[in-house]
């Protein structure tokens, strides 16, 4: 096992990783920007190193500064958390060249899955069901029109380098497909410096269902159940639950087996997530995330596994520590992302948290790095914390979530807490009857 792990991240995820390291007796190094000198992840780490000014490009994305921090402190591994450098293949390679372990997949695996066209091709070759569409990059207008007609309108033009929902454009028919592709290309070029686009069928009312996987890098892999992340705003997840209210046991067993087999075949290393859209009983692969995800706690709550312990074990050359047949799903878990944003307009609301009281009690977990008197800096994401609630079944989970939301106090900044208090009383939420468009239309209607 590692002796000292440097955590190249901030906020709740830095604290989450730190907790796992402490439990395993591993020393921790925090890195931080000058805006985060008073942050909880810095205060609680064994050592800390300031790596630059507030702008992420000069601190949390500053590879030379992070490598130097590893060398100064003698860290033998780096956990990248999510966001920032977590899916940067070059970072993984540079660490390796310095004899420092990257707690994640191989650089090659990150690179393959980071390019959406390549990821889709790989997924299809591994036997995963994919959204019908172009076999690869669209290179000409003629090809665009021909494939769109074959696939059937409406179609979605997507950027190969895409992320965060950028570079995605819907075309309704042959009249707007050329324009839509040009728009997607321009957006992709501006955001990612790469204008390669591909095309797929636009699914009308799918759910977003993703499977958590864990591989040892030597051909052993397990599927740790699914999460339903259909409640989204602008392609950003807001509420996640495990498992999905839309699937039955035989559908689950089948997709878990398909995914685990694919991961064994690619010798995937570490924790990862295979994202699917699910419509009319069918799964369609959209992408793979080669890192720990924000919503990983709902999986931990129903499996009893600590995913960060597992990441650390696998990255240091150990085994998965669990077999597929030993994985049992217990009850139901829901996560709400509490952001420092207006609950209806989602305008960010940085500032000082004047009063903070997180909920507690049986089945309630709050993953957060804020405290009373903490000033939320304007430079990073607006996550205040994640409220994760577990119940013996979905009904009990919802009851407990309503109770926990009622206890949660965050004063001084706007937060999305009131949105969740409204959502929990909606019959569609109680029934689990929602798709990826539900939240946007609920917000547009105002009720």
Q: Which residues are catalytic?
A: 291
User: CA-to-CA distance for 95 and 189, rounded, in angstroms?
Assistant: 29
Cα 400 to Cα 376: distance, rounded to the nearest angstrom: 28
Residue-by-residue DSSP string for 27-72: EEEEEEEGGGTT-HHHHHSSEEEEEE-SSGGGTTT-HHHHHHHHHH
Query: Stretches 145-153, 163-171, 331-339, 371-379: which one binds ligand ADP (CB under 6 A)?
Result: 163-171
Interaction of residue 259 with ligand ADP, rule CB under 6 A: no
Residues of span 120-139 touching ligand ADP by CB under 6 A = 131
Two structure tokens written together for 65:
């500064």
Please, which residue, 165 or 373, has the CB nearer to ligand ADP?
165
Q: Judged by CB under 6 A, does residue 2 bind ligand ADP?
A: no
Q: Which is nearer to ligand ADP, 99 or 281 (CB)?
A: 281
Q: 201 vs 227, which CB is nearer to ligand ADP?
A: 201
**Nearest one of 316, 257, 301, 252 to 278, comparing CA atoms:** 252
Candidates 10, 8, 7, 9; CA nearest to 18 is: 7
According to CB under 6 A, which one of 136, 152, 165, 174 is a site residue for ligand ADP?
Answer: 165
With binding defined as CB under 6 A, does residue 331 bind ligand ADP? Answer: no
Q: How far apart are CA 319 and CA 36, in angstroms?
A: 36
Q: Does 275 bind ligand ADP (CB under 6 A)?
A: yes
Residues binding ligand ADP: what is the number (CB under 6 A)? 19
How many other β-carbons are positioned within 10 Å of the β-carbon of residue 418?
13
Which range in 183-191, 203-211, 402-410, 425-433 contacts ligand ADP by CB under 6 A?
203-211
> How far apart are the C-alpha atoms of 221 and 260, rounded to whole Å?
6
Residue 235 near ligand ADP by CB under 6 A: yes
Note the Cα 413 to chain centre separation in Å: 25
Residue 224 binds ligand ADP, judged by CB under 6 A: no
Q: Pattern of binders to ligand ADP over 77-116, x per CB under 6 A?
A: ----------------------------------------
The residues of the shown chain that bind ligand ADP, judged by CB under 6 A, are: 131, 156, 162-165, 200-203, 206, 208, 232, 235, 275, 277, 286-287, 436
């Amino acid at each position: 096992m590692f002796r000292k792990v440097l955590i190249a991240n901030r906020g709740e995820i830095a604290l989450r990783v730190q907790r796992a390291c402490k439990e395993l007796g591993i020393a921790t190094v925090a890195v931080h920007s000058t805006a985060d000198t008073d942050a909880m992840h810095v205060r609680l780490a064994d050592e800390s190193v300031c790596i630059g000014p507030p702008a992420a490009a000069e601190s949390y994305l500053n590879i030379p500064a992070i490598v130097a921090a590893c060398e100064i402190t003698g860290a033998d591994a780096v956990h990248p958390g999510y966001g920032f450098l977590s899916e940067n293949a070059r970072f993984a390679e540079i660490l390796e060249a310095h004899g420092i372990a990257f707690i994640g997949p191989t650089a090659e695996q990150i690179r393959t899955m980071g390019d959406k066209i390549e990821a889709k091709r790989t997924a299809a070759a591994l036997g995963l069901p994919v959204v019908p569409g172009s076999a690869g990059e669209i290179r000409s207008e003629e090809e665009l029109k021909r494939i769109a007609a074959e696939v059937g309108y409406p179609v979605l033009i997507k950027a190969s380098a895409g992320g965060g929902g950028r570079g995605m454009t819907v075309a309704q028919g042959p009249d707007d497909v050329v324009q839509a592709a040009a728009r997607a290309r321009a957006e992709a070029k501006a955001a990612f410096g790469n204008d390669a686009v591909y095309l797929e069928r636009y699914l009308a009312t799918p759910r977003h269902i993703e499977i958590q996987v864990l591989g040892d890098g030597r051909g052993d892999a397990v599927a740790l159940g699914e999460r339903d992340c259909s409640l989204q705003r602008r392609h950003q997840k807001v509420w996640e639950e495990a498992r999905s209210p839309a699937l039955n046991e035989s559908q689950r067993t089948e997709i878990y087996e398909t995914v685990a087999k694919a991961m064994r075949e690619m010798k995937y290393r570490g924790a990862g997530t295979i994202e699917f859209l699910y419509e009319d009983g069918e799964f369609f692969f959209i992408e793979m995330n080669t890192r720990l995800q924000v919503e990983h706690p709902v999986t931990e709550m129903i499996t009893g596994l600590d995913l960060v312990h597992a990441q650390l074990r696998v990255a240091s050359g150990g085994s998965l520590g669990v077999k597929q047949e030993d994985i049992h799903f217990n009850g139901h878990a829901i996560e709400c992302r509490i952001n420092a944003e207006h609950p209806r307009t989602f305008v960010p609301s940085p500032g000082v948290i004047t009063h903070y009281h997180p909920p507690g009690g049986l089945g309630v977990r709050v993953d957060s790095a804020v405290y009373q008197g903490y000033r939320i800096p304007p430079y990073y994401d607006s996550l205040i914390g994640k409220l994760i609630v577990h119940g013996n079944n979905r009904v009990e989970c919802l009851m407990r979530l309503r109770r926990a939301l009622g206890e949660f106090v965050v004063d001084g900044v706007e937060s999305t807490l009131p949105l969740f208090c409204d959502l929990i009383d909606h019959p569609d939420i109680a029934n689990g009857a929602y798709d990826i468009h539900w939240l946007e239309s609920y917000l547009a209607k105002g009720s």
